[in-house]
Every structure is written in structure tokens, then in C-alpha cells.
Amino acid sequence: MFEQDEQGGEYSTCYETCAIAWPPYTTEEPPAAGEHVDAERLGTIERDDGTRQVTYDGWPLYFFARDVYPGDALGQGMDHMGGPWYLIAPDGEIIEDEGPEQAEPVEPGSP
């Protein structure tokens, strides 16, 4: 989540250069909850271009462009593009801990 966004707000504050570094998590279908995700906390907001951005507990969600491998969270705690960026826990709480180092590559088919 981006601290410049408003929890429960109707729009994202991350566009243009920001959205290149932090691509929004968008969907064409209603978002589906995966393991450990509370389906009632999922939602969407409409972006300026008409795409639907996924929200969790009212916070617009993003990817970080430098995350490559499963488990990467290199943007965690980073102050970038006007504010800090954090992960959100399944209970909707903001995780303000330091982010992990870049994960090791995973070979296809390995556990």
C-alpha cells in the first residue's frame, strides 16, 4: 500500500512515473481470495483509464517493478514517489517492518 493513498478512498494517487515503478494490481473480473486472504476485504476502485484496481481492506494494491522472484518484497518500507510503501497483512494491518533481501531464483518444478 502507498501511504499517499486514502484507505477506503475512491481513487489511486499513483499515476504516470509512479505507476511505472509501482504498477497497479488490476483485474477485469471480481478479485478472488487466495489462501490466507479474507475475501470480504477485497474490492476494486476505478482508475482514470477505466481499469479496475484491486483493493485490500480499502487500500489500493500495487506491484513493485524491481520484484522478480516469488517472495520478493524489495519495495517494502521504501520512501519513494512521495511517501512510504508497505505490505498489508491478511488481517488488513499495515506491515511496517524492513523488507527482505531479494529472494533466490526458483527453478521451475522445484518445491
pLDDT in tens, 14-62: 999 999 999 999 999 999 999 999 999 999 999 999 999 999 999 999 9
Q: Binning pLDDT at 50, 70 and 90, where does residue 106 land?
A: low
pLDDT tens-place string over residues 67-86:
999 889 999 999 999 999 99
Which residues are within 8 A (CB) of 91 and not within 5 positions of it... i.e. 6 or more apart? 38
CA distance 105 to 33: 26
CA distance 39 to 7: 17
CB 83 within 8 A of CB 60: no
